[in-house]
Amino acid sequence: MAVVAKIAPSMLSSDFANLASEAERMLRFGADWLHMDIMVRGSPLSLLMIFGAYWFGFASYFVHQVKSLFFHTIFIVHFHRHFVPNLTIGAPVIESLRRHTKAYLDCHLMVTNPLDYVDPLAKAGASGFTFHVEVAKDYWQDLVHQVKVKGMRPGVALKPGTPVEEVYPLVEGENPVEMVLVMTVEPGFGGQKFMPETMDKVRALRKKYPSLDIEVDGGLGPSTIDVAASAGANCIVAGSSVFGSKEPANVISILRKSVQEAQQNG
Ligand SMILES: O=C(CO)[C@H](O)[C@H](O)COP(=O)(O)O
Ligand SMILES: [Fe+2]
């Protein structure tokens, strides 16, 4: 059975001060899902720790020539404290929006500690819970289990530089994720340029998993949708192309038609 096209405007490009009416507007224009980008940057304390760690790492390197300590310290502090250099919304905003809409809230977590968000997001009314494979290699089974127990739909995302093979175990496991989100820009900001080289991953996933929901996120719009749709993507996130258009309904319709036509031709 062919997978269904889902068009998900990214609310990152909406007017956050009018989130409920922006959501209502997108649904009226034909959106299937609302894509919610949850990004957390390091706190001032963690930034201080990063600075301290770099200083300590450099000092160790030059004074003692302890290379591994240098790289290890940078890796641990940088990657465990800071997934993206931006700060957007969290569970309280999802909860507020949920009071105004029954729509599917497709939450994309760009955080280093997704386990901490399962309970708050479930209580807030999130529908999809998509975490990044890069931060959950050691505990994804537990995470997926908890997400399902709490009534949300688990998905896994991967950055442009992450090999697609890293998500195969999560799709094939006993307790599989139900969607793979292929980042088509570096996570962190809306309005970036689509990276066509990420399409190899979409093609590989579609070939291996004909009925899997495959979402693409970043730089999608009328000029880039055809390549993503023909590679096999069926869930399309689009922020700036939809919100920046004078006719968002038209853009949503173009995205949907492209996915449907690719499926008919494929
Ligand atoms: O996850 C994201 C950024 O990290 C956003 O969902 C994405 O960038 C959508 O915005 P646009 O369509 O403007 O590129
Ligand atoms: Fe996103």
| pLDDT for position 57 | 64
Q: Is 151 left (phi over 0), alpha (psi -120 to 50) or beta?
A: left
Residue 190 has φ and ψ, to the nearest 5°, of -80, 170
Confidence of residue 183 (pLDDT cuts 50, 70, 90): very high
Amino acid (one-letter) located at 248: P
Please write the tens of the pLDDT for every residue from 134-165: 999 999 999 999 999 999 999 999 999 999 99
Please state the length of the chain: 266
Nearest CA to ligand 1 atom 4: 187
Residue 13, ligand 1, Cβ within 6 A:
yes
Beta bridge partners of 131: 156
| pLDDT for position 41 | 75
Residue 37 has φ and ψ, to the nearest 5°, of -90, 110
Supply the residues annotated as catalytic.
Answer: 37, 217
Contact between residue 228 and residue 150 where contact means Cβ atoms under 8 Å apart: no
Structure tokens at 94: 């999802």
Please write the tens of the pLDDT for every residue from 74-92: 555 554 457 898 999 999 9
| pLDDT for position 73 | 55
Cα 248 from Cα 266, distance rounded (Å): 27
Helices and strands, counts by H and E, the chain = 11, 8
Which ligand 1 atom is nearest residue 238's CA? 12
Please write the tens of the pLDDT for every residue from 229-255: 999 999 999 999 999 999 999 999 999
Give me the mean pLDDT over the 172-180 stretch.
95
| pLDDT for position 173 | 86
Give me the mean pLDDT over the 16-35 stretch.
98
Asked if residue 222 has pLDDT above 80, the reply is yes
Asked if residue 265 has pLDDT above 60, the reply is yes
Please write the tens of the pLDDT for every residue from 106-120: 999 999 999 999 999
Residue 10, ligand 1, Cβ within 6 A:
yes
Residue 179, ligand 1, Cβ within 6 A:
no
Nearest ligand, CA of residue 191? Answer: 1
State the distance between the two ends of the chain, measured CA to CA, in whole angstroms.
13
Please write the tens of the pLDDT for every residue from 36-65: 999 987 554 555 565 666 666 666 666 666
Asked if residue 15 has pLDDT above 60, the reply is yes
More confident residue, 105 or 54: 105
Contact between residue 143 and residue 114 where contact means Cβ atoms under 8 Å apart: yes
Which ligand 1 atom is nearest residue 242's CA? 12
Q: Where are the beta strands (DSSP E) in the chain?
A: 6-9, 33-39, 104-110, 128-132, 153-158, 179-183, 213-217, 235-238
Confidence of residue 2 (pLDDT cuts 50, 70, 90): confident
Contact between residue 23 and residue 34 where contact means Cβ atoms under 8 Å apart: yes
Give me the mean pLDDT over the 10-18 stretch.
98
Please write the tens of the pLDDT for every residue from 119-141: 999 999 999 999 999 999 999 99
Structure tokens at 71: 């790289």
User: How confident is the prediction for the chain on average, in pLDDT?
Assistant: 91
| pLDDT for position 178 | 98
Share of the chain above pLDDT 70, in %: 84
Q: What share of the chain is helix, strand, coil (3-state, %, to 5)?
A: 50, 15, 35
Residue 110 has φ and ψ, to the nearest 5°, of -105, 70
Rg, the chain, Cα only: 19
Residues with Cβ within 8 Å of residue 220, at least 6 apart in sequence: 184, 194, 228, 236, 237, 238, 241, 255
